[in-house]
Amino acid sequence: MPSIKRYVVIPDLALRLNNNFVRTLVEEIKKATLYGYFEAYPSLDAAKKPKENWFSRRLSVAGIIEIEVQDESQLSKKALQEFCSDILLLPSEAEQEGKLSSLIKSIYIKGFSLPFDELKLEKREALQIASFNFNPHDESKLQLNQPPLLYLNQIPREILFLLFIDHQFFLNFENWRQYNAREPKGKGCVYDLFQGMTLLAGLWMTSSKTSPVTMDNIKLLHRVLSDSIYADSTEDRRGTFREGYNSFPLHADAVTVAGIKELLQRIKTDNLADGFRIGHFKRCFITSDFCFIMSTLIRNEVVGSLGADEYLALERLNKLNELKDKAIHEAVQKNKNVTEKQIELIINTFLQDFEPDKKVSNSRFWSNLSYYYSDLARIFTKSSPKAEFVYDLDHSRDHALASAGHVAPTTVNIHEFNDEELDNLARKIYSLIQSGEEIHLFPPTRVIAEAWAEKAVEQFNRTISQATYPETIIEIIDNLVHELEILHLFHDVNCRTNYLLMNFLFLTHSLKWATEFNPNRLDAYSSQERIEQHKQAIFRTDYIIANKKQWIKSNAQIELVYACARAGVQLLDYSEANLRHIQTDNQYLEISQSLVAVLHSFQKMLNDILSAKIKKYDLQPVISSELFGLPQEYIDFVNALKQFQIDYDVHHFLTTVAPLSEKPEIAEDIKSILHVAGCNQDWSQNNQYASRLNSVG
């Protein structure tokens, strides 16, 4: 008996489809049957034009599921509700997923179709890695075979942003626009990323390719990358190290047991109370509580009373102080685990910094102030003002799951832990993170962090010049950027700074760009796991270049879907006919212009140099060389230069000109061309030639 396929519209599916997709789909199907909007359409085309419903104005974030049953009776409300309830009773996620796959075969979202077994982002990542035939032992695939900036210039402008954003977002049908929307202030964080790479490309073109890394250069890069995030800030923290402690969360997709264990071993070895720690980040919410209490007190005790807005200045001040004292008292009663002195310090610092009573107009003063405090209460449930953050940070460090040195008895001291105990603790912390608990890595004080960063930079500069094999080069670069990442030297934009620095160093040392699936894996993957990630990321860049037409097409679809949503167009049918009249803006052209100009400028500069060398050696294009005795080496060199100008194949060029380097003049010109092109002795296949060239030079 043939199976029956039906198509069901699920509201808000585009917003809710995440790693917990099984529960999401099950709950949405149950809701649809319970509230009477479950509609099984006979075809996908029919589902793309759904009947008028309560979510008709939200089609841009809806999706369609394709379901397959053996009998129509399985589509009854009762049968579907029982099916969904049975799934939720299954003990493991794998069992739930397996049972749901017997019903749902694929989904249609944002104009893209996904088979059920690819709904997990980790599965899409694995399938992509399989598609580019990843071989971690093939070091030749890691090395550049073109000048670095010309290698980047192979990537069409439309998808250059893929170099900078987490690749996981694009596989989840998001491009630079959604990434930029996370930090849209100023000209946006994607604009800053292009500016940062433009800065690095400019440095690469104008300075020695083997110049040592310096902290000043890292600060300069951070200054450019953080321009937008601090656009409206009263404190200019661009390129500036943090003052005290800080912390950052360890995300479920960015940690492994081996990576956490390496961090624990680091903590144990350092044995410093002011060094690294790992533990829960616990927030006290004192400022949020105070603001909510103030809003309620104003509404209950002042708003609505006769002549509330006729208070004289002194009366208003006295009333504010009275309400503030009441609110602090209530906050103290609510937060018994925090001292009264600490609570007063947090609240008074907040009032001094924010001055809420001066932020509202005198017209309907008390009503406005109540609403303003209510808004602040919501804001401070998500982020804390400075004094409260400092308290939370200190309190969390003092109750860490892992620390060492002369620490308080409230924190776990792992200095005496053996290997088995470290392993068990790593597994425990990993489980806590996977279960959704907020676990942070707490870096050292600024003084220690800065000293360790300088030491890491010195170590890098000392060892990188001795490295010849690609994996060794990757390891040395990774050691540096991992150290900078976990030290978290800046207030923000640490990962982006280290990600661009890492790829700049890869290019400088003749390795390809690494398009990372999730750059945050720099945090808490083990050293070997990070190296594996970088190799995969290099293969991914080649995969993008090889399949650029498909990437451009997918990006164009994402652009049009985004434009529809911005314009308020409600569609499920993202066919070419429906999208034909949708217009996108030119924001990306402005964002990408600086880098595109540098890449084109470099290509022109290199071509001009090659043309000048060709003209220098191509002394007689018409008369035969035998008549004037033009050396055969000159003819061969001209041919090699002309071929290099066509394909920019460095390995072929070096192989061709190797026998010609006995001529000192040719040897000197080869060296100058390689220097401008950005090719150096890291091209390991050519080390024998490089040695011969150096001995001649």
The answer for residues whose C-beta is within 8 angstroms of residue 31's C-beta and 6 or more apart is none
Residue 56 has a pLDDT of 81
HEC readout, 116-167: HHHCCHHHHHHHHHHHCCCCCCCHHHHECCCCHHHHHCCCCHHHHHHHCCCH
- Percent of the residues in the chain that have a pLDDT greater than 70, as a whole number: 94
Res. 493: pLDDT tops 60: yes
Predicted confidence at residue 696, as pLDDT, reads 45
Per-chain mean pLDDT for the chain: 90
Segment 392-403 shows an average pLDDT of: 97
pLDDT of amino acid 623: 46
Task: Determine the average pLDDT of the residues in 472-480.
Answer: 97
Between 269 and 187, name the one with better pLDDT: 269
Residue 390, pLDDT score: 96
Identify the top-confidence range among 39-53, 206-220, 467-481, 616-630: 467-481
Q: Which residues contact 597 (CB under 8 A, 6 or more apart)?
A: none
**The pLDDT of residue 311:** 61
Residue 446: pLDDT band (50, 70, 90) is very high
Tokens 């490309």 belong to residue: 201
CA 298 – CA 295 distance, rounded (Å): 5
Instruction: Give residue 689's pLDDT.
Output: 45
Question: How deeply is 484 buried, as exposed, middle or buried, from its count of CB atoms within 10 A (0-12, 13-18, 19+)?
Answer: buried
How far apart (Å, rounded) are the C-alpha atoms in residues 158 and 26?
Answer: 38
Residue 688 pLDDT level (bands cut at 50, 70, 90):
very low
DSSP annotation of 255 reads B
Instruction: Examine the pLDDT at 641 and tell me if it is beyond 70.
Output: yes
Neighbours of 404 (CB within 10 A): 25
Q: Which of 223, 140, 74 is nearest to 650 (CA)?
A: 140
CATH code for residues 182-246+445-547: 1.10.3290.10
The stretch 586-609 carries a mean pLDDT of 96
- Model pLDDT, residue 622: 45
Residue 697 has pLDDT above 50, yes or no: no
> Distances in Å between the alpha carbon of 257 and those of 262, 413, 480, 655?
9, 19, 21, 46
- At a CB cut-off of 8 Å and minimum separation 6, what does 490 contact? 222, 226, 237, 240, 241, 242, 497
pLDDT at site 687: 41
Q: 221-260, pLDDT tens digit by residue?
A: 999 999 999 888 878 899 999 999 999 999 999 999 999 9
Q: DSSP class of residue 442?
A: E
pLDDT tens digits for 363-378? 888 889 999 999 999 9
Strands (E), 276-330: 277-280
